[in-house]
A = this chain, B = another copy of it.
Amino acid sequence: MITGKNYIGNQLSAKGTKVYKTFNPKLNIENSNIFTEATSEEINEAVNLASTAFKTFRTLSGKRKAEFLNAIADEILALDDKLIKTYCSETGLPEGRAKGERGRTVGQLRSFAELIAEGSWVEATIDTAQPDREPMPKSDIRKMLIPLGPVVVFGASNFPLAYSTAGGDTAAALASGCPIIVKSHPMHAGTGELVASAIVKAAEKTGMPNGVFSNINSSGIEVGAQLVKHAGVKAVGFTGSIKGGRALYDLAAQREEPIPVFAEMGSINPVVILPKALNNRGKALAKTYAGSITLGTGQFCTNPGLLLGIKGDALSSFIQDLSNEIVKIEPSCMLHPNIIGAYENHKKNAISQPNLTVVADYESDVQTNYARQTIATVEGKTFLENPTLHQEVFGPFSVVVQCEDKNQLEEIISQLEGQLTGTLIADDNEVANYPEIISAMQNRVGRIIYNGVPTGVEVCPSMVHGGPYPSSTDSRFTAVGIHSIKRWVRPFSYQDWPNDLLPNELKNENPLGISRLVNNAQTTKAL
C-alpha cells in the first residue's frame, strides 16, 4: 500500500503539511495518492540515523551487505504487478519498459552483491615491513577502500527504477558501506515509496541498522538543498538536468566541508557520419537513427541530439530519408506535463534560431502529453556561431549539421561541451583518413561508439557512463557498472597495525581469499 509518507529510517513519518500528487500523463489526470513533503525535523532525523547507522554498517562484511542487496532485489520482485502498474501510471511509459527497467535494477543490485561478496574490489594493497632497511627502517603499511559516510541520492525523472530509489547510485553506495538517504523524485513518488518499502523490508530481514536507508518526499527544491548542506551528509549522487545538478554541485562546494557531488547531467551525444558510410548505407542509417532519436520518446540521456556530416548530395539524401522515416513513427507519451512543456519550449527556442531549417515535424494530431518528433538542419558555420544550438532539447528532437569540410567538422567537435557519448558512423576503409576527428571526439566524451547508436547503456564493468563537464560533474568516475562504487569510497592506510585488529581484507592470512597487491605483486595468497 502506498501511504504517501516518508521513510525516516524504518519508520513511516508524515509530520509536514505540504502535500502533492503524482500525475498520469497518458490519461492526463492526477493519481490519487497524496504525498507529504518531509519537514526539516524529519530530514535531520534521517541524517542523524544515517550517521549512527554508518558506525555499524561500514564494519559489516561484504557477505552481509550482499545479503542485504540481494534481499532488496527479492523484495522489489515481490512487489510484482503493483510496482509495474504504479510505475506506468506515474510515467506514461509502457509495461515492457517498466519490466525491463525493473530487470536492470535487480541486475545492478545483484551484480554489486556479487562484487562485495567476493571482496577484491577494496583494492587491498600491502607493503610489508623492512626493519633492517637503511638509512631508515620501513613500516608495514596496508591500504584498502572504505566508505565515505551517508550519501544522498536524488531520484531521476526518466528512470524511476534504475537511476532512482534502489538504482545504480543507491546500489553502489550501499555496497560500499554508505547509508543512503533518497530524495524521491516527485513525479514518481508512489513508485519510489514502493521500492523504499522493499529496501526497508530487506534491511529488517537481514538485520541492517536502522537508518541505513531513508526515503524523503519533496516536490520543491528546498528539501534537496537542506540535505546537501547537512554536515552529516558526505557525498551526493544525482541524475538530471544541468541546471539542477549544477545547483547541487555549487551548494556542496560552498559548504564549510565541501563534499563530492557526482551528477550525471545533460548531453547531446554527437553522431558523426562519414561520407562513404552515408553514400553506401544512408537509407538504413536514416531508419536506425529515426528509431534511436524517438526511443522512449527521446527521454534518454544518451539520446542522439546532434548529427554531423559533410555537406553534399549524400548528406542531403540522408536528411530527406531521416525526415521520411521519423514521421512514420507513432508519437508517444512523455513523462509528465512539465517534461513535455519543457520539450515544447526548448524545441521552439531552438527552431526559432536564425538560419535553421525544420525538415521534419510530425504534423498529425497527437494526444495530450504526447511529443511530436522534429528534425532540423543548419550549416556548420551557423552551428559554430550559436551556442543555443549546442544545448540539449530533452525529447525526440535532433539537429543535423552540414559541415563545409573535415576541418570544420573537427572544429565543431572540439568546441562542444563535454558529452556522455560520441558516435562515429563510418565504412571500415575510410576511418583511417579521419584521425583528428576521432581524437577530437575522444577529448569531449566518456564513451565512443563505432557504427552503432548511443542509446542503450549496457551495465557491465567496461561501461563508462559519465564524461567531461557538463555531462558529469566529475569525469574521473562512471555512474554505471561495478566500478561506479569508487565514487563513494576513499583509500585508507593502516601503518604497523596489529594483525588481529586489521580488517579481514588486510590480515596476513587473507581469510577472505581476495586478490591483493602484496609488495607490488597481485596475489590471493596469505602472507
Contact = CB atoms under 8 A, between A and B. Distances in A.
B146 A446 contact: no
Given A439-B55, A448-B493, A461-B143, A260 B456 contact: no
Interface string A206-227: 0000000000000000000000
Interface string A436-449: 00110011001111
Contact of A139 (B258, B452, B470): B452
Contacts of A46: none
Interface string A489-508: 11111111110010000000
Contacts of A464: 143, 491-493
A384 B406 CA distance: 65
A139 B475 contact: no
A490 B464 CA distance: 9
A257 interface: yes
Interface stretch (A13-21, A70-78, A476-484): A476-484
B253 A493 contact: no
Interface residues of A, number: 75
Given A253-B253, A257-B469, A258-B249, A492 B458 contact: no
Contacts of A475: 148, 490
Nearest to A234: B468
Given A450-B496, A456-B136, A515-B522, A260 B476 contact: yes
Given A418-B257, A463-B143, A495 B136 contact: no
Interface in A414-460: 417-418, 428, 431-432, 438-439, 442-443, 446-452, 456, 458, 460
Contacts of A418: 257
Number of copies: 2
Nearest to A115: B520
B450 A498 contact: yes
Interface string A123-142: 10111000000001011011
B460 A495 contact: no
Contacts of A477: 490-491
Contacts of A486: 476
A495 B253 contact: no
Interface in A505-527: 515, 517, 520, 522
A457 to B, nearest CB: 10
A497 B450 contact: yes
Given A55-B439, A139-B449, A253-B258, 13 more contacts: A125-B483, A127-B462, A127-B463, A138-B458, A138-B460, A141-B463, A143-B464, A149-B443, A428-B498, A431-B498, A431-B501, A438-B501, A446-B490
Interchain residue pairs A-B with the least CB separation, the first 10: A253-B253, A464-B493, A447-B493, A143-B462, A141-B462, A475-B490, A449-B495, A125-B462, A127-B460, A127-B462
12 contacts: A141-B463, A257-B470, A431-B498, A447-B492, A447-B493, A448-B492, A448-B497, A450-B496, A461-B517, A464-B492, A467-B490, A477-B491
